[in-house]
């Protein structure tokens, strides 16, 4: 028994009692873990949506900039003619 970390009968009974308490809490722990995993999945989905929205906004801004540049009249360089 000493190999297993048990020093005597009282210690063994104490460990069984502690193990029994822990076993009754396992389903609650599983539920908490699953709930947190679902929360993380939801958070990940939200982050992907935010990233996509950022890309969409950037594309819209680029398109607006491009449209403004196309609408501007192009400036022509003045050509000076010198008489000799």
Please state the pTM of the whole predicted model.
Answer: 0.52
Cβ neighbors of 60 (< 8 A, separation 6 or more) are none
Residue 82 exposed, middle or buried by CB count within 10 Å (0-12, 13-18, 19+): exposed
Structure-model confidence comparison of residues 74 and 17, the more confident one: 17
* Cβ–Cβ < 8 Å for 23, 17: no
Structure-model confidence comparison of residues 3 and 63, the more confident one: 63
Rg (CA), the chain: 36
* Per-residue model confidence as pLDDT tens digits over 23-63: 999 999 999 999 999 999 999 999 999 999 999 999 999 99
* Cβ–Cβ < 8 Å for 1, 11: no
């Amino acid at each position: 028994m000493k190999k297993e970390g048990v020093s005597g009968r009282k210690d063994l009974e104490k460990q069984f009692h502690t193990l029994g308490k822990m076993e009754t809490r396992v389903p609650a722990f599983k539920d908490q873990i699953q709930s947190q995993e679902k929360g993380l999945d939801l958070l990940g989905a939200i982050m992907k949506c935010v990233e996509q929205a950022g890309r969409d906004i950037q594309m819209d801004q680029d398109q607006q900039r491009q449209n403004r540049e196309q609408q501007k009249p192009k400036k022509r360089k003045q050509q000076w003619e010198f008489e000799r």
